[in-house]
Amino acid sequence: MDANIVKAAQALKEKTIVRRRDFHKHAEAAWTEFRTASIVAKTLQGLGFRALVGEEVVDGSAMMGVPASAELERQVERALAQGGDKGWVEQMRGGKTGVVGVMKFAKPGPTVALRVDMDANDLVESDDPKHRPAREGFASVNKGAMHACGHDGHTAMGLGVAEVLAGLKDQLAGTIKLIFQPAEEGVRGAKAMMARGVVDDVKYIVGAHLGVNLKKTGQVACRTEGFLATTKFDAVFTGVPAHAGGAPETGRNALLAAATATLSLHAISRHSQGASRVNVGVMQGGTGRNVIPANAIIKVETRGATTAINEYVYAEAVRIVEAAAAMQGVKVLLQLMGGAAGCDNDPALVERIRQVAERQRLFSEILPAGNIGGSEDCTYFMERVQKNGGQAAFVMIGTELAAGHHDCFFDFNEDALVPGIALLSGVAAELLTKG
């Protein structure tokens, strides 16, 4: 079966590059992936998958960092004008842009999930001719949205995997779930899909990412380490305005509360059991030099080497923010904007992935591990599967990069797409035939 999978993946090379470039050109940021998701759903359905979208796979109450309703409606109209499928888009109203493709095979077996992400960065892409997408005409046409992390490649690979597995359906057992996740940037999307229960019946789950710290095509790491659990939140302070000279005592200073919180947050004790982080990335407030500031906001993130460590830092952060507000007599509202769990890979599944990569002979260098050095919300899926007794792993696929991730000159070597399709298809087939 390995040889047939490799051959099928290689036959999809040109189609996959065309898909990748189309997604790149029509980049869509978190929760606005209406065009991309509708194309994915339509393609999956055409391949014989049951395509689940909208409320079926996204729990609205668990969505974080969602754009305002007016902006979502604007993005719907934009997506339809750019070729999104209206029937599918209508089911994704409110930003519920997740898609899960399900195929049940005739023979009984395990449920296997593969997860890819679809969203772009909030970034203006370079129009410099030295930037290949600009030079060759597939740079983003959506100002302020750019695929600068390779998710366009991930989505194209996911559709390639769907095509390969559909061609093998008579040889497979159990159920395959292909999870196309929105809003990975800012780690906002996986939790809402996990909360809907999309992986509750999954025995094995595998995620993947192009590039990161593997910057040579032909490299692969079957285990990814260094995941940091994280919580992103905004603290919105509301006080009372007053004349700063004439009646300052009648005011309640929201900006001073935000500043007090900012300084105190960075004094949270580090944790003895592993790495911990806290950062205030934004502080804004006030309206004029002669007005006691009635409004202020800080944008904060906590991180930890494990979910428990991050929960400790976050709990301390909440205590400090609320105390700072109380000191100044102002109100504070905490708004969750994103999050990811801490997680590790299951060695047994990692070894099976390594064996598939070795048999396929498409990778020149199989590394023991790759370090992501940050947060990736696929960990929410992975952690849920592991808590239910299943196994999880995250694969890193090497590729040369024109610039670093989240850079306006980002681009990757498209020769990495075929090995990615072959490996993910091969791993799924392995698990679906041998359990």
Residue range 334-349, pLDDT digits in tens: 999 999 999 999 999 9
Q: Are 142 and 124 in contact (CB under 8 A)?
A: no
The pLDDT of residue 94 is above 90 = yes
Distance CA 414, CA 80 (A): 28
Q: How many CB atoms lie within 10 A of CB 291?
A: 13
Closest CA to 326 of 257, 414, 383: 257
Distance CA 293, CA 284 (A): 10
Spell 202-228 as b/e; 16+ CB within 10 A means b.
Answer: bbbbbbbbbbbbbeebbbbbbbbbbbb
The pLDDT of residue 188 is above 90 = yes
Region 359-388 average pLDDT? 96
The pLDDT of residue 416 is above 90 = yes
Whole-number percent of the chain with pLDDT over 70: 100
DSSP string, 250-289: G-B-HHHHHHHHHHHHTTPPPPTTS-EEEEEEEEEE-S-T
Task: Give the residue carrying structure tokens 């014989």.
Answer: 48
The pLDDT of residue 435 is above 90 = no
Grouping H, G, I as helix, E, B as strand and the rest as coil, residue 427 is helix
Q: Kindly calculate the radius of gyration of the chain based on its CA atoms and give it in whole angstroms.
A: 23
Element spanning 99, H or E: strand 99-104
Region 316-335 average pLDDT? 98
> pLDDT band at 431, cuts 50/70/90?
very high
Region 301-327 average pLDDT? 97
Residue range 200-254, pLDDT digits in tens: 999 999 999 999 999 999 999 999 999 999 999 999 999 999 999 999 999 999 9
Grouping H, G, I as helix, E, B as strand and the rest as coil, residue 176 is strand
Grouping H, G, I as helix, E, B as strand and the rest as coil, residue 332 is strand
Q: Are 428 and 161 in contact (CB under 8 A)?
A: yes
Q: How many CB atoms lie within 10 A of CB 365?
A: 12
Residue range 32-82, pLDDT digits in tens: 999 999 999 999 999 999 999 999 999 999 999 999 999 999 999 999 999
pLDDT at 295: 98
Q: Are 52 and 188 in contact (CB under 8 A)?
A: no
Region 188-201 average pLDDT? 98
All domains in the chain, ordered by first residue: 2-225+348-434 (3.40.630.10), 229-340 (3.30.70.360)
| Whole-number average pLDDT of the chain | 97
Question: Which tokens is 125 given?
Answer: 């892409």
Q: What are phi and psi of 402, to 5 degrees?
A: -75, -30
pLDDT at 373: 86
27 burial (CB, 10 Å; 0-12 / 13-18 / 19+) is buried
The pLDDT of residue 137 is above 90 = yes
Q: What are phi and psi of 362, to 5 degrees?
A: -95, -15
Give the orientation angle of helix 34-46 with respect to helix 151-167, to 10 degrees: 10
Q: Are 145 and 121 in contact (CB under 8 A)?
A: yes
> pLDDT band at 392, cuts 50/70/90?
very high
- What pTM was estimated for this model as a whole? 0.95
Q: Are 187 and 375 in contact (CB under 8 A)?
A: yes
